[in-house]
Amino acid sequence: MITLSALGSFVLIVGLVTLTPGLDTALILRTAALGRRRRAWGVVLGIQTGTLVWGVLSSLGVTAVLTASHLAYETLRWAGAAYLVWMGSRILLPTLRRGSGAETAPSGAADEPDTEDSFGGGWRRGTVTNLLNPKVGAFYMAVLPQLVPAGAVNLMTGTLLAGVHILLASLWSSVLIACARALRGTLRRPAARRILDRISGTAIAGFGVHLALGN
């Protein structure tokens, strides 16, 4: 079984990773800020589903194939990059095409996947986004072998650690959703919605470009 010292080290590592602003933060904040609470929680649980999958695959040694195979890693990396750029563009481009007469038009109306407060839609987006990010798998592959003690059952220990990560990330996500909902009144204004979409769309597409250019 994992030691308390190793568990504490893992909590510290994933805690820092969770608190660092990134793609997950951008997705959750934008969805919640637009008043789509069910969809926001769908995104959260989708992301955590991906985290659980990566944790289990790492425990079984499957992600070792990903990190060892340049072709497999590059294929997943480019697929993830393309998906993020596409997603960010769907959010960003409609705001750039609007003219001055569109002040009263609802921002994000052209972003068809985000128009409904659908838990399932949010879950799919969160899951796909997480699973198409090979860096999550590489992270687990690098961290888990350092923490799993000799003689421990890898699957059980890896799943436990992934569960700890999911718990911490879910707690932090609840804080993000609460903060975003507090700003919902302001973000109902078309101009504010347009600014939000431009920032979040640029950020998400930027993560995709970063993933494409990264090693």
Assess whether pLDDT exceeds 70 at residue 204.
yes
The structure's pTM equals 0.80
Question: What is each CA distance from 118 to 107, 124, 182, in whole angstroms?
Answer: 18, 10, 20
DSSP category for residue 213: H
Task: With respect to residue 85, please indicate whether it lies within any of the assigned structural domains.
Answer: yes
* Cα distance between residue 43 and residue 51, in whole Å: 12
Task: With respect to residue 103, please indicate whether it lies within any of the assigned structural domains.
Answer: no
pLDDT of residue 105: 43
Q: Is the pLDDT higher at 130 or at 137? A: 130
Task: With respect to residue 28, please indicate whether it lies within any of the assigned structural domains.
Answer: yes
DSSP category for residue 152: S
Length of the chain: 215
Task: With respect to residue 107, please indicate whether it lies within any of the assigned structural domains.
Answer: no
Tally the domains of the chain: 1
Assess whether pLDDT exceeds 70 at residue 135.
yes
Assess whether pLDDT exceeds 80 at residue 213.
yes
Task: With respect to residue 8, please indicate whether it lies within any of the assigned structural domains.
Answer: no
* Cα distance between residue 45 and residue 145, in whole Å: 26
Task: With respect to residue 98, please indicate whether it lies within any of the assigned structural domains.
Answer: no
Assess whether pLDDT exceeds 50 at residue 117.
yes
pLDDT of residue 148: 66
8-44, pLDDT tens digit by residue? 888 999 899 888 888 899 899 888 888 788 999 999 9
Contact 165, 7 (CB under 8 A): no
163-175, pLDDT tens digit by residue? 999 999 999 999 9
List the alpha helices (DSSP H) in 34-153: 37-59, 62-68, 70-97, 119-131, 134-147
Task: With respect to residue 201, please indicate whether it lies within any of the assigned structural domains.
Answer: yes
56-102, pLDDT tens digit by residue? 888 887 766 666 777 877 888 889 899 999 988 988 888 887 544 44
Assess whether pLDDT exceeds 90 at residue 191.
no
Task: With respect to residue 139, please indicate whether it lies within any of the assigned structural domains.
Answer: yes
* Cα distance between residue 132 and residue 78, in whole Å: 9
- Confidence band for 124, pLDDT divided at 50, 70 and 90: very high
Amino acid (1-letter code) at residue 101: G
Q: Which domain holds residue 28?
A: 23-93+116-213
pLDDT of residue 98: 57
